[in-house]
Chain A
Amino acid sequence: MLRIDRRLLAHFDWPLLLLAIAVIMCGLATILSASHSTEALVGRALIQQTVWAGLGLIALLAACSFDYHWLDRYAYWIYAATLVLLIAVFVFGAWGGGARRWLRFGPISIQPSEFAKLALVVSLSSLLQRYAGEGSLSLRAVLLAALLALPPAALILRQPDLGTALVVAMTTGAVLLVAGLRLRWVAYAALIVLPVLPYGWQHLKPYQQKRVLMFVNPSADPLGAGYHIIQSKIAIGSGMLHGKGYLNGTQNRLNFLPEQHTDFIFSVFAEEWGFIGACMLLALYVALLLRCFVAVSRARDSFGVLLAFGLTAMIFGQVLVNIAMAAGALPVVGVTLPFFSKGGSSLLVCMTAIGLLMNISMRRFTF
């Protein structure tokens, strides 16, 4: 099956690959800085992430080595497999930080929720390609899509992992809207959901409630729940125009930043590189975004368009939410920064997504 067509190689999307690698390199450098302070982590975090990047590259190449239409055929199998993994987490998963998110296989642990995002985008695209393009989506299509999205979202929410669940919901929403969800229905849904919100509020964990409250007014409890938001804003702001210099971020080095390897890694970067550096990083992401949309535009069929768009929406939805959260413009939810945050599953999934986008981009002439 893995016959490499010379014609395909000619259309290999080098810019997309190189841009992704460039962001990953920035991420590795920042992880080095973030683990600089705690000596036990020097090297270890960086080596782990480098290994995962290598694996990610293999996954990326694998993801563009077959015709992506195979995914269409096996979409529901893939979906079912990740659902099984999510249930497995629920049963056998490893605990960490009050949540059960990981499956441990010897030395490596994976986060099935990351793969579930990918599988959901594939199956949604497979489902909606039939309905897309005929004006707006039929109620049946929307209900079927919701039926697909709900089980993984619910399982992830139960872990609990509010951040990933929100990304799942966001991605589903984005794909549905592009596929032709009527905005009027969104308004109706909102009318139904809003009255239930107070009930839902009571079902949030106390720490989740606190996070939302602290977003509204972080200085109400500067040493309690608002601490993370304030320290992250201080880290970013104190970078000023030019930054404090690589490895010189005091907020990072002295552990004032929470989760500086993962959710708040952007703060580490912005503190050390300043506004100019942060803008350059954002420019890199924008370039990647544009290149992803090139891939979307090159897709020759609805499945391709929906898949490519879904993957792009998944990646950049997270980018926007993560940075907005670090900058104190959104409540703190545990969302990683794609290609940047430490975390094997996240990196692997993002690189697979890039591989799929390249796959779609490459096969624009093969019909």
Chain B
Amino acid sequence: MALNQREVPLVLRRRVGVALGLGLLGFIGLIARLWNLQVIQGEEMRLSSEKNRIRLHRVQATRGTVVDRYGRVLIDSRPSFDAVVVPEDSPSLDGLVENLAHYLNGSAAELQAQLKAASRTPYQGVSIKRDLSYDDVVAIETHQIDLPGVNLQITPRRSYPRGSQLAHLLGYVGEASQADLDGDETYHRGDLVGKTGLERRFEHYLRGIDGGQQVEVDSVGRKLSILREVEEVPGNTVKLTIDLDLQDAAAEALGDRDGSVVALDPNTGEILAFVNSPSYDPNIFARGVRTNEWKALLADHHKPLNNRAIQGQYPPGSTFKFIVATAALEEGIINPFTHINCSGGLNFGNHYFRCWKKGGHGSMNVHEALVQSCDTFFYQLATRIGIDTIAKYARKFGLGDPTGIDLEHEKGGLIPDTAWKRKRFKQSWVTGETLSASIGQGYVTATPLQMANAVAMMSVGKRFRPHFVLRVESPDGDIIHEEKPEEMESLEHLRPTTLMQVRDGMHDVVATERGTGKKARVRGVEVAGKTGTSQVVKIGKERLKANKLPWQHRDHAWFVGYAPFEAPEIAVAVIVEHADGGGGAVAAPLTKEILDRYFALKHERENKSYAQN
């Protein structure tokens, strides 16, 4: 039976034994390796496996809406679809990009470049096309098989249905900047955040709380199941003090002229209308502003990005006189019966200060000087009153400092005094400069909002911080934040007769035929106010008619006023830049239109509420 049988040599058995030993050593090595992987690095490896399978799909909360005081929508969010690509989930990126370009009618090279340009962490999606059209959404949905790694992401898009109306106050949103991301770690790349205006200042009320999904995905990124879902909490609704009807009326009255209108409630500081002209359409920022659009906005000579109401610092001209008059009366430098003769100007030092009326006004008291806006009266007055006294009262009325409105980059205008002159020019004040200041020229500047607030203070004797937010309501309708009137300064300690005398003068500016502001007269309501025509270039020998001057050298037309005279409820400041006429001719009738609309609306609303009751 046995073939070739030989005794097994001992040496062979020994070698087999060595081999067994080596084999066992191999197994010990494997156990050591497994110990290292599963026990020592186990925690880390477990985390890696979780990271493999779990993706976070963040859902940015829908931003809150902004409405006017009667609930009409000023800013809204609508859902939009973005195409998001996760390159790691695509087996062939080139093929994917080609397919995507085909379905979206785009260029593959452009998409490729976009993917390359995006800085991101692995497995983070890149928004390749935002705000897809309905056709694009359908194309992506139906061709999912050709588009591995492409997801549709719903993101709320900001829309400003009123276009350029209120643009400077509302502001706009844009993608979070590096500074935004560094400042708040709950922001993510690509998030929309408020960049300017109300959108920025009320960001924390508007943004809401982001939601998200923990999604289990397989090795090619297919969504298998939702492990956990956190609902987003939409942002709050911000209700403004703005009355959109009045806003529209004011914008319409100003038309395409450069300028600004601010209307507010003198009893509370609530801003009712806030017009800047020209303006811009914030919707172009919401969808991502294009370079050429941005350049055009910057290059425009009419400066549409400029928020004139709070940043435009204009010489207030004759509108400043009601403040100087108040100062002079209160300080006892004049009394209502102090008469000064106006012969068309005043020689002071080696300079002749002209009154706007070449032939002169004749004998003037303070009342008539206000009504007819006599410059000579105020020049004379300036020789007796110090600049520091004028400055003291101007500051009381809120000039020279920002009003404190909840908007960024507000300017404070300038109220000069001796200390300022010394600091700024290292020179002492010259009385001649007080003469210019007394008619709101020279160094004196103010913003339209400051002037509106100043005339509001004149009307009620108190000054409030101007504000434009009535309250913030949660999505459930709870009031989260309410802005109460915030008193800044009062004229209570002034003699009542001082205010009465100045107010009477302002009343007759509008009410009398001599009054420079008679064109602001409104049927059935007593209006008080003051006109102003402020020079842009130094007054020459003779005032030229506006139509004989180059546009940029023409005067600014001002009107500040309030109504009704006895129980003021609206204060208005209007400025028309480089107008084709003075304050009385241009700004006063403009104010009339706004006040007309205000009282008509008031009447309408009262009737409606009567009818409802």
Contact = CB atoms under 8 A, between A and B. Distances in A.
Interface in A233-255: 233-241, 250-251, 254-255
Contacts of B9: 132-134, 302
A24 B38 CA distance: 24
A72 B1 CA distance: 12
Contacts of A134: 9
Nearest to B43: A240
Given A72-B4, A275-B35, A240 B42 contact: yes
B19 A178 contact: yes
Given A254-B218, A296-B16, A324 B30 contact: yes
A237 to B, nearest CB: 3
B42 A256 contact: no
Given A293-B16, A305-B13, A286 B8 contact: no
Interface residues of B, number: 47
B2 A251 contact: no
Interface stretch (A107-115, A151-159, A277-285): A277-285
Nearest to B26: A320
B46 interface: yes
Contact of B42 (A133, A237, A285, A309): A237
Interface string A301-345: 111111001000100100010011001110000000000000000
Nearest to B25: A320
B1 A67 contact: yes
Interface residues of A, number: 65
Given A241-B39, A320-B26, A329-B33, A254 B216 contact: yes
Interface string A66-85: 01010011000000000000
A73 B1 CA distance: 12
Contact of A72 (B3, B12, B46): B3
A274 interface: yes
A135 interface: yes
Nearest to A301: B5
Nearest to B44: A237
B217 interface: yes
B109 interface: no
A254 B37 contact: no
A238 B19 contact: no
A223 interface: yes
A271 B26 CA distance: 21
Interface string A212-232: 000000000001000000010
Interface string A114-156: 0000000000000001101111000000000000000000000
A20 interface: no
A178 B34 contact: no
Contacts of B45: 233-234, 236-238, 240
A240 B38 contact: yes
B41 interface: yes
B120 to A, nearest CB: 14
Prevailing SS type, chain B contact patch: helix
A175 to B, nearest CB: 10
Contacts of A329: 29-30, 33
Contacts of B8: 133, 299-302, 304-305
A348 B177 CA distance: 65
Contact of A69 (B3, B7, B15): B3
A170 B481 CA distance: 79
Contacts of A237: 37-38, 41-42, 44-46, 48
A236 B37 contact: yes
Contact of A289 (B3, B24, B46): B24
Given A67-B1, A293-B20, A241 B38 contact: yes
A270 interface: yes
A178 B20 CA distance: 11
Given A72-B4, A305-B8, A241 B42 contact: yes
Contact of A256 (B5, B16, B35, B53): B53
A177 B5 contact: no
B19 A174 contact: yes
B27 interface: yes
Contacts of A223: 88
B34 A129 contact: no
B220 interface: yes
B37 A233 contact: yes
A367 interface: yes
Interface in B215-262: 216-220, 224
A304 B2 CA distance: 12
A160 interface: no
B52 A254 contact: yes
Contacts of B34: 236, 270, 275, 278-279, 282, 327
B119 to A, nearest CB: 18
A241 B42 CA distance: 8
B49 interface: yes
Contacts of B12: 132-133, 178-180, 302, 305-306
Given A133-B6, A250-B52, A320-B26, 8 more contacts: A234-B52, A241-B39, A282-B30, A285-B27, A302-B6, A306-B12, A324-B29, A327-B34
6 contacts: A180-B15, A234-B49, A238-B48, A250-B50, A305-B8, A366-B1
Interface of B: 1-9, 11-13, 15-16, 19-20, 23-24, 26-27, 29-31, 33-35, 37-39, 41-46, 48-50, 52-53, 88, 216-220, 224
Interface of A: 37, 67, 69, 72-73, 129-130, 132-135, 174, 177-180, 223, 231, 233-241, 250-251, 254-256, 270-271, 274-275, 278-279, 282, 285-286, 289-290, 293, 296-297, 299-306, 309, 313, 316, 320, 323-324, 327-329, 366-367
- The list of the 9 closest CB pairs from A to B, nearest first, reads A237-B45, A133-B9, A238-B49, A240-B42, A275-B38, A254-B218, A237-B37, A255-B219, A238-B46
